[in-house]
Structure 1
């Protein structure tokens, strides 16, 4: 009795008739669905191409595997247009051998696949008395008799497939947008943490960035829309909270910096992710404009504006070479004299005086545009932030800002009470107040390097007004 196996040995057959198949509840429901084909085709003709397209569009969202889609696509190859007209039934009867060869399946696999298609509500089987598949058509190609695969359930479900496909596409787009928002949020958190690190206030903030990255990794694996929405909302709220904390910390540092230029660490690195913007179309304050005209008139020996109203022309080098600018919070960008010098100094001489610029130059004989670009790279080494560099370009002009930065690069580290960035911040503040004398600093560097002082000229005298 211990070795008794009910399924072994002869016994009663499970099928009363050879070829009859055992039905499941799903297969019975599919047969009832196929009976509604007459209602669908009533009054016209069903387009088999659109039926198949609707099924294929919905298949991914119904989680139908590729084998199911391939099998239905293959069965549709045997149907004809007249099979979908009113009063007909779209039945196809390819042999099992053809199906095995076309789908690269074994006989057992084909049987399981056919039952699965019926269970999923896609086809129903029309069995002949002898269990074989066959059919015949009349001279007009209409089916007279057929036993095989009835494709009616797919036609009946065409509207359902379209709705599923539309909902699936909408859900996919929603998930795509949510995941994009998650990526933006985690990058924003990373930028905030990096900025806080440069400000020296990032203690404990690195953990926030790590947690955000782990949460994004989980969001990318989740398919439930509600869960993804919750995760993205959490990320965005965390980003907003960290940004508020960072802005509050920056305001605190700015308030502390108002007490002095070099006595307090001005945090020269600042917000490294903000764009570098040099303003060239600033509207001048009237008081600044009057002050500029007075200084220009005194420097040029009384040469005021011309009849045409031009205030920036006059004798060559009048205040331009020395970087002359009006006082106040806004400035006019100085122009380079016709001889191509700034403070009677060529770009090559500036590189010799400030050799740290050379590492960032693309060519051996640079012009002032290359000098400005190299200074923009050099500022990283000196701890000068992009906003501070932009303020310097606005206050002095790009070329003179590059000269000022080069002067800072020549100073030894023990020269600064705070940092090179704080020292440069002080130079910018003095430039705004009209108290910066870069020409004197350049003469001092020339003297320290043993280079001869250039001959005195009207331009040199004009530079003393800085």
Structure 2
């Protein structure tokens, strides 16, 4: 460590350990290191929220950099600038003296500049016989050179976060528009379903968007809005498929009646031994398979299922289905009830239903009967996982806020 690089400010101004550590870091700048001062300044501007400084402080830093004669910061050319407050105020667009001192202190606290005060606190340069500067007292720009890579990385992170925020906000706007228009179309065209309740859920989600949202706020609402959109589409598709099936059944019936008008024999009752008879007798009315929601949403709504996955965690749909088999047995759900659910809902969605039941196990007296009831409703096209998952996500979020 170069002890000569550690100095304390003049007068009553205190020095902090953080400032001393910053001076030690500038003492370790590798020989020959250089950085474009305006690029470093732009990075500092981009990362100002991370640094905790205001725009006026950056204007003062901009003014200080204009007193450095070269475009590249380099130790060999000296890194101390020594303008008077009057000169600095002029280049900082006429900033008042008290405001100037406050923002200079903020730049020092943020670790972007360092004070190198003379014995009497004056700013000046001592020159040799040839006119070259031997030593200068004022503000050192060495922290900018020492932290050039750090500031560039911080600026990139801020830019990436801003881009992610913009993309999430755009996705939420599109999803919000889709849900609004789908609900309106379903209501106007008289589609079956409790669209009033679905609209209440939609209005509740839009009402939760803060005036100045964070990326976390938008991400949470976007996930729930996407689930609601998926739920609406599932309902509309189920009704469309049911209508198509009914239409086809009527057409087939008419076709059979028309083609058998000249038939001279009657159909005899089946003995039940013919090939395919068993499958025909055990068939049940089934709707289109319920579309699976993203695994991340399921785990956010049903975190308890994680404990029953392989190795105590659920990292894939296969893990979730394995955990559901364990939970099924623990809850007392019979193998036949779970098998029926798998046949009607699909294996992945049956596992999600079991995860939801586990999450509400304290409020469900008969888990097996409850699953059979959901299976029957799903077979009639009257059940979807969306509302259950959204209710659990809201309950978990509310519990988290109370715990904090």
What is the TM-score with the length of structure 2 in the denominator?
Answer: 0.52
SS of 2:155 mapped into structure 1: helix
Displacement, 1:257? 6.8
| RMSD after superposition | 3.1
- Aligned match for 1:71, one of 54, 60, 63: 60
Q: Alpha-carbon deviation of 1:117?
A: 1.1
Q: In the alignment, what sits opposite 1:58?
A: 47
Deviations 1:293-352 (A, max 9, x none): xxxxxxxxxxxxxxxxxxxxxxxxxxxxxxxxxxxxxxxxxxxxxxxxxxxxxxxxxxxx
**1:80-159 alignment runs, 5 A limit:** 80-81=69-70, 84-103=73-92, 104-136=94-126, 142-159=132-149
Aligned pair 1:30/2:56, yes or no? no
Q: Post-superposition shift, 1:191?
A: 1.7
What secondary structure sits across from 1:192 in the alignment? helix
CA drift of 1:246 comes to: 2.1
Tell me if the contact between 1:30 and 1:119 (Cα under 8 Å) persists in the aligned partners: no
CA distance in 1, matches of 2:81, 2:125: 8
| Residues 182-229 of structure 1, C-alpha deviations (whole Å, 9 max, x = no match) | 1121111112101111222434332233224224x33x7332x44433
Q: Quick one: which of 192, 205, 226 aligns to 2:198?
A: 205
Task: Give 1 or 2: higher helix fraction.
Answer: 2
> Conserved in 1, the CA contact under 8 Å of 2:114 and 2:143?
yes
SS of the residue corresponding to residue 236 of structure 2 reads helix
Partner of 1:231: 221
Match of 1:167 in 2: 157
What's the counterpart of residue 221 of structure 1?
212
In 2, are the aligned partners of 1:125 and 1:150 still within 8 Å (CA)?
yes
Displacement of 1:160 in angstroms is: 0.2
SS in 2 for 1:168: helix
Gaps of 5+ in 1: 1-16, 261-466
| 2:37 aligns with one of 48, 71, 78 | 48
Cα distance change of structure 1 residues 138 and 188 upon mapping to structure 2, 3 Å threshold: farther
Aligned residue among 173, 182, 188 for 1:192? 182
Which residue number in structure 2 is paired with residue 331 of structure 1? none
1:19 and 2:36 aligned:
no
Q: Name the count of aligned residue pairs.
A: 239
**TM-aligned CA deviation for residue 49 of structure 1:** 3.2
Assess if the C-alpha contact under 8 Å between 2:53 and 2:110 holds in 1: no
The residue correspondences of 1:240-389 to structure 2 (distance < 5 A) are 240-253=230-243
Deviation at 1:178, TM superposition (A): 1.4
Q: 1:63 to 1:113 in 2, by over 3 A?
A: closer
SS in 2 for 1:204: helix
What does the per-residue CA deviation read over 1:11-54, in whole Å, with 9 as the maximum and x for residues that have no partner? xxxxxx973532123332332233233x2xx1354432333233
Displacement after TM superposition at 1:232 (Å): 1.5
On the 8 A contact 1:83/1:143 being kept in 2, the answer is no
Classify the secondary structure of the residue corresponding to 2:134. Answer: strand
SS at 1:221 equivalent: coil
* Aligned counterparts of 1:141 and 1:82: Cα–Cα separation in 2: 21
Measured against aligned partners, the alpha-carbon deviations of 1:230-271 in whole angstroms (never above 9, x if no partner) come to 3221111111011111222344455667899xxxxxxxxxxx
The answer on whether the counterparts of 2:36 and 2:72 sit within 8 Å (CA) in structure 1 is no
CA distance in 2, matches of 1:78, 1:86: 15
- For residues 96 and 86 of structure 1, do their structure 2 counterparts lie closer, same or farther at Cα, with a shift above 3 Å needed? closer
Q: Is the CA contact (8 Å cut-off) linking 1:92 and 1:150 kept in structure 2?
A: yes
Distance, in Å, in 1 between the alignment partners of 2:82 and 2:91 is 14
Distance across 2 between alignment mates of 1:29 and 1:44: 20
Which residue number in structure 2 is paired with residue 310 of structure 1? none
Change (3 A) 1:60 1:213: same
CA–CA distance in structure 1, aligned partners of residues 134 and 159 of structure 2: 41
Instruction: Name stretches of at least 5 consecutive residues in structure 2 with no aligned partner.
Output: 1-8, 251-404
How far off is 1:139 after superposition? 8.6
With over 3 angstroms needed to count, the CA separation of the structure-2 counterparts of 1:138 and 1:180, relative to structure 1, is: farther
Cα deviations across residues 395-439 of structure 1 (Å, max 9, x unaligned)?
A: xxxxxxxxxxxxxxxxxxxxxxxxxxxxxxxxxxxxxxxxxxxxx
